[in-house]
Structure 1
Amino acid sequence: MCGRYTITVTLEELMVRYMIGVTNIPYHRPKYNVAPGQMVPAVISDGRTNRLGELRWGLIPSWAKDEKIGSRLLNARAETAADKPAFRGPLRTKRCLVPADGFYEWRTEPDGSRQPLRIVLRGGGIFSMAGLYETWTAPDGRRISTVTILTTEPNELMAPIHNRMPVILRPEDEALWLDRSVRDPEALRHLYTPYPASELEAYPVGKAVGSVKADDPSLIEPLAKS
Structure 2
Amino acid sequence: MCGRFALTLKPEEVEAFFALLELEDFPPRYNIAPTQPILIVMAGEGGGAPGSNLPDRRALLVRWGLVPAWVKDPKSFPLLINARSDTALEKNTYKTAMRHRRALVPASGFYEWKREGRNRAQAYWVRPKGGGLVGFAGLMETWYEPGGSEIDTGAILTTNANTDIAHIHERMPVVIKPEDFSRWLDCRSNEPRDVADLLRPADPGFFEAIPVSDKVNRVANTGPEIQEPIDASESEAEKKPVNVQLRLI
TM over 0.5: yes
User: Which secondary structure state, in structure 2, belongs to the residue aligned with residue 197 of structure 1?
Assistant: coil
Based on CA coordinates, which of the two structures has the bigger radius of gyration? 2
Q: Give structure 2 stretches of 5+ with no counterpart.
A: 47-55, 235-249
Q: Does 1:87 align with 2:85?
A: no
Runs of 4+ aligned residues of structure 1 deviating over 3 Å after TM superposition are none
User: Which secondary structure state, in structure 1, belongs to the residue aligned with residue 89 of structure 2?
Assistant: helix
Q: What is the distance in 2 between the residues matched to 1:40 and 1:198?
A: 27
Q: Give structure 1 stretches of 5+ with no counterpart.
A: none
Contact 1:92–1:182 at 8 Å: present in 2 too? no
What is the aligned partner in structure 2 of residue 16 from structure 1? 16
Q: What is the distance in 2 between the residues matched to 1:149 and 1:97?
A: 9
Offset of 1:12 from its aligned partner?
1.8
Paired residues for 1:119-158 under 5 Å: 119-158=126-165
Q: Does 1:78 align with 2:85?
A: yes
Q: Specify the code of the residue in structure 2 equivalent to 1:207.
A: D
The Cα RMSD (Å) is: 1.7
What is the aligned partner in structure 1 of residue 198 from structure 2? 191
Offset of 1:109 from its aligned partner?
2.8
Q: Quick one: percent identity of the two aligned structures?
A: 39
| More helix by percentage | 1
Offset of 1:111 from its aligned partner?
8.5
User: Which secondary structure state, in structure 2, belongs to the residue aligned with residue 33 of structure 1?
Assistant: strand
Say how many residue pairs are matched: 224
Q: 1:91 to 1:224 in 2, by over 3 A?
A: same
Q: Taking structure 2 as the reference length, what is the TM-score of the superposition?
A: 0.85
Contact 2:31–2:219 at 8 Å: present in 1 too? yes
Offset of 1:70 from its aligned partner?
6.2
What is the aligned partner in structure 1 of residue 175 from structure 2? 168
Offset of 1:200 from its aligned partner?
1.1
Q: What is the distance in 1 between the residues matched to 2:12 and 2:75?
A: 33
What is the aligned partner in structure 2 of residue 28 from structure 1? 26
User: Which secondary structure state, in structure 1, belongs to the residue aligned with residue 205 of structure 2?
Assistant: helix
Q: What is the distance in 2 between the residues matched to 1:19 and 1:173?
A: 13
Q: Specify the code of the residue in structure 2 equivalent to 1:193.
A: R
Q: Taking structure 1 as the reference length, what is the TM-score of the superposition?
A: 0.93
Q: What is the distance in 2 between the residues matched to 1:42 and 1:70?
A: 22
Q: Which moved more, 1:9-18 or 1:30-39?
A: 9-18
Q: Which moved more, 1:184-193 or 1:61-70?
A: 61-70
Q: Specify the code of the residue in structure 2 equivalent to 1:18.
A: F
Q: 1:111 to 1:76 in 2, by over 3 A?
A: closer
Contact 2:18–2:178 at 8 Å: present in 1 too? no
Q: What is the distance in 2 between the residues matched to 1:162 and 1:125?
A: 22
Which residue, 38, 41, 44 being the options, matches 1:40? Answer: 38
Offset of 1:163 from its aligned partner?
1.2
What is the aligned partner in structure 1 of residue 72 from structure 2? 65
